[in-house]
Amino acid sequence: MSSDNLVKMANQIAHYFDSEPDRGLAVQGVRQHLQSFWTPAMRRQLGEWIEAHGGEGVDSKVLEALG
């Protein structure tokens, strides 16, 4: 899968949790989704892309969830 698609999907997951008033719970929700539904290879590829691009364009909840 392309890295651009992974970034887009990760941001969509994060935006799903935008209505959660507790930021910690929102980040936990993103983390849980990525662990439950993404393969290790997908998470690794997203992490490599984030590292290479300094996280630019990735929702901060995703960055926290992976961090």
List the structure tokens of 60: 């901060």
CA distance 27 to 46: 16
**62 close to 18: Cβ distance less than 8 angstroms:** no
CA distance 48 to 46: 5
Supply φ then ψ for residue 58, to 5 degrees.
Answer: -110, 130
pLDDT in tens, 2-59: 999 999 999 999 999 999 999 999 999 999 999 999 999 999 999 999 999 999 999 9
Structure confidence at residue 62 (pLDDT): 98
The structure's pTM equals 0.93
Structure confidence at residue 1 (pLDDT): 86
Q: Which residues contact 46 (CB under 8 A, 6 or more apart)?
A: 3, 6, 7, 10, 38, 62, 66
